[in-house]
Chain A
Amino acid sequence: MKLAYWPGCVSRGFTPELHGSMHLVAPKLGLELVELDRANCCGAGVIAEHNQEMADTLNARTFALAQKVDGAAGMMNICSTCQGAQSECQERLDADSGYREHVNSHLSEEGLSYERDGEWWNKNFLWLLVEEIGLDKLSEKVVRPLEGLRIAPFYGCYIVRPTKRLGYEGHPNRDKYLDFVIEILGAESVEYAGSHKCCGFPVITMNRATSLRQAGRHLADALDAGADCLVTPCPLCHLNLDMQQPDAAKFVERDLDVPVLHLPQMVGLALGFEPKELGMDKHVVKTSDVQRKVAELAAA
């Protein structure tokens, strides 16, 4: 399946292991990724907070670039925040042809235009795994079932709310997909209070206490529920849950030390890639316990 691929800013910035692992697993899943290397930042909600028309135009530009990719089934992102920010703009663009025309007029000099088309889609890798590849097909590709690993899903707000905007009417189980994927890869999905809550990242520069109390609480809940690690389809969640974890631990006054995997890393482990290839050494919280368990699986 050929896809217009929007990696986002953070996967090429502070979480290079996400972009790297996605590139590694894509061919094994039969995905041909055409990277949108001329596309701009989605705005992460911050540009919309500044000026909605600006955010809508910047994302219309990305959509237009994606629509120009010949033979692409659709557009894929690997960031919950990109998904949410882009879906918000797409909703406004799709709702009104007059507004769409107005926004497209800003892009005409570049020869770009976003066309509303009921068939065209922009999906996070998580949604794509379940809806386009399918869980059955995914399970056929598993060469190393992650048996014995207890993995806590962390979705990221932007792909679970608001359900009306995010296509839950047509796909009511989107808030369970991460659990489905964990289970189909042979691991055990851990139920805990924080799976669909906020990691706190959006306010890390504005209210550090609120931000890190959120991150710390969810990590602690996952740990108490017996998780070996967390997995998330959002690199911003990853930054707050992994890179900030030592500080988050201080805010909740306890030891945490729980690794946080990116979704393509977890998929990659089950597809037979080695942790190192998947960039699992590039985490702030060491993934060695998970690596050891995976190595035992391989030996077994």
Chain B
Amino acid sequence: MSDFTLKIRRYDPESGEPAFWHEYPVDLPPERSVLDGILQIKDREDASLAIRCSCRAAICGSCGVRINGKSALACNTRISDAARRAGPGKPIVVEPMGNMPVLKDLIVDMDAVHWKKIMRVVPWLLPAGEPPEREYTVPAEAMIDVTQSMACIQCGVCVSACLSLEVDPQFVGPAALAKAYRFVGDPRDGQTEERLRDLAEDPHGIYDCTHCFACIEVCPKDVAPMSQIMRLRRRATGDFEIKDSNNGYGHERGFVNIIERWGTLHEAQVLPRSFGEGSFVKGQVKPSAVKQLAETLPTALRGLRSGKVTPKKVIVHPKLPDQARVRKVMHTIESKPRLELNLYIVGDNSGEEQGAMAEGSQEL
């Protein structure tokens, strides 16, 4: 048995008192979980401590909290690991999940945020045509692509960690967008393009993800929501050429076009190309692009004034010495069916089947 200290954020809206911190002693073997610690406190110290939990085995997804600032399932976090991360002599800090209103103690309002966002992406199959006589069938291998997003247990831990949501509460968010991919990637669904167009055009949709990896880091089921969002973007731009008004298409195309031409990033062309569907010329003549360029003028002037940006740098960008070869490689890859690589990366060569090209990767 070991001694641990849990510092828990308490809040009871009915008390009329503000939230406060309280430290509790816990006596548990080191291999037990933070949830076991919380339940021991409930049992021995204060039965009024509120926590949502059920399976204690990272299956039900009920006990999402923040432990030392990091979102996680309490049942899936070893108490000794949490103590080590807290640092010597410091308590394990446990607080409710972020980005959602707190109902009581460690319980947040999942309905107000998480479930509302899940509903936003129409989380059910929308098949095309008349229903078949019996069930909708699909070859098993066609479903491999969506297995990772299907592993989601709706715990909301990624929603809690999301750094875009923190500044934009309207962002559709990692869990809902991973769920959206589950249907976009399903061959039985008949609304693939409509779903993608909807999420690409929404200013708070797939292009509001800031690529910070927070959701990938915390997901207890390795759903890698951000990777699913990148797949949604890949499908939207690559397969359907959806030229959205958020510049998502333009940014991706513009960036790739620049590297194809110069090999390294010609930064001065990123903005016009982003605003002009990837094209430098369009980025300077299309009315919406001109308007956006004008808005960024103060930034550009500041850059020039500071000496970071020089007029020469804006106009001329050196090509790599072997740029013809870089371009050829890019063309070769572009001309083949796109590889969608397995997202369950294990990262060692011990079993060849577990690598990037193993089952789960496919040509689209």
B272 to chain A, nearest CB (A): 10
Most chain A beta carbons < 10 A, residue from B237, B247, B255, B356 = B356
What is the bound-complex CA distance between A75 and B148, given in angstroms?
33
Report whether B238 and A92 are in contact in the complex, using a CB–CB cutoff of 8 Å: no
Q: Is A121 on the interface with B (CB-CB < 8 A)?
A: no
Return the CB mask of A9-37 against B: 1 if under 8 Å, else 0: 11011111100000000000000000001
B52 at the A interface (CB under 8 A): no
- For the complex, is B76 an interface residue (Cβ under 8 Å from A)? no
Residues of A within 8 A of B308 (CB): 14-17, 243, 282-284
The residue that B349 contacts in the complex, of A57, A95, A211, with Cβ under 8 A, is: A95
Min C-beta distance of A16 to chain B, whole Å: 7
Name the one of B234, B264, B309, B333 contacting A40, with C-beta atoms under 8 angstroms: B264
Please tell me if the beta carbons of A47 and B256 are within 8 angstroms of each other in the complex: yes
Render A148-160 as a binary contact track against B, CB cut-off 8 A, 1 for contact: 0000000001100
Closest residue to A209 on the B side, CB-wise? B168
Digitize B319-331: 1 where CB-to-A-CB distance is under 8 Å, 0 elsewhere: 0111001101110
B331-364 CB mask vs A (1 if < 8 Å, else 0) is 0111000111100011111001011111000000
- Size category of the A interface is 35 or more
Partner of B209, one of A14, A99, A203, A282: A203
* The residue from A58, A95, A283, A284 contacting B326, defined by CB atoms under 8 A apart: A58
Q: Which residue of A lies closest to B250 (CB)?
A: A205
User: Which residues of B sit under 8 angstroms from A39, Cβ to Cβ?
Assistant: 320
Which residue of chain B has its CB nearest to the CB of A84? B213
CB pair B347–A94 under 8 Å, yes or no, is yes
**Once the chains bind, are B355 and A99 in contact (CB under 8 Å)?**
yes
Q: Does B37 contact A (CB under 8 A)?
A: no
Measured between C-beta atoms, what is the minimum distance from A7 to chain B in Å?
10
Known contacts: A14-B309, A95-B356. The answer to whether A40 contacts B259 by CB under 8 A is: yes
In the complex, whether A110 has a CB less than 8 A from a CB of chain B is yes
Query: Which chain B residues border A102 with CB–CB below 8 Å?
Result: 357
Minimum CB–CB distance from B135 to chain A (whole Å) comes to 33
Whether the Cβ atoms of A206 and B307 lie closer than 8 Å is: no
A9–B267 CB distance below 8 A: yes
Do B338 and A51 have beta carbons less than 8 Å apart? yes
Q: Give Cα distance in the complex from A207 to B309, angstroms.
A: 23
Q: Are A206 and B213 in contact, CB atoms less than 8 angstroms apart?
A: no
- Assess whether B138 is interfacial by the CB under 8 Å rule: no
Contact status of A92 and B345, CB under 8 A, knowing A46-B256, A157-B213: yes
- Stretch with Cβ within 8 A of B (4 or more), from A66-74, A194-202, A291-299: A194-202
Please report whether the interface of chain B is mostly helix, strand, loop or mixed according to DSSP. Answer: helix
Say yes or no: B325 contacts A109, CB within 8 Å: yes
Residue of A nearest to B326 (CB): A40
B103 part of interface (Cβ distance < 8 Å): no
Contact B322 A110 (CB under 8 A): yes
A192-243 with Cβ < 8 A to chain B = 197-198, 200, 202-203, 205-207, 209-211, 213-214, 217, 243
A-facing residues in B297-328 (Cβ within 8 Å) = 298-299, 302-303, 305-309, 313, 320-322, 325-326, 328
> What's the minimum C-beta distance from B277 to chain A, rounded to whole angstroms?
12
CB-based contact B259/A47 at 8 Å: yes
Complex CA gap A197/B166 in Å reads 10
Is there a chain A Cβ closer than 8 Å to B5's Cβ?
no
B211 A47 Cβ-Cβ under 8 A: no
Q: Quick check: is A139 within 8 A (CB to CB) of the other chain?
A: no
Instruction: Tell whether A136 is near chain B: CB-to-CB under 8 Å.
Output: no
A116 adjacent to chain B (CB < 8 Å): yes
User: Are B252 and A98 in touch, CB under 8 angstroms?
Assistant: no
| Residues from chain B with Cβ under 8 Å of A47 in the complex | 255-256, 259
Nearest A residue to B244, CB-CB: A206
Does A41 lie within 8 Å of B265, measured CB to CB? Answer: yes
A sample of 10 cross-chain residue pairs with beta-carbon separation below 8 angstroms, ordered by A number, consists of A45-B211, A95-B349, A98-B352, A116-B349, A198-B212, A205-B274, A206-B207, A207-B204, A243-B306, A284-B305
* Chain A residues with a Cβ under 8 A of chain B: 9-10, 12-17, 37-41, 43-54, 57-58, 61, 84, 91-99, 102, 106-107, 109-110, 116, 157-158, 161-165, 197-198, 200, 202-203, 205-207, 209-211, 213-214, 217, 243-244, 246-247, 281-284
Interface residues of B (CB under 8 A from A): 163-164, 166-168, 171, 203-204, 207-214, 216-217, 230, 233-234, 237-238, 246-248, 250-253, 255-256, 259, 263-267, 270-271, 274-275, 298-299, 302-303, 305-309, 313, 320-322, 325-326, 328-330, 332-334, 338-341, 345-349, 352, 354-358
Nearest 3 CB-CB pairings of A with B: A96-B355, A161-B213, A9-B265
Given A46-B251, A106-B332, A207-B168, 4 new contacts (CB under 8 A): A200-B210, A203-B164, A203-B209, A210-B168
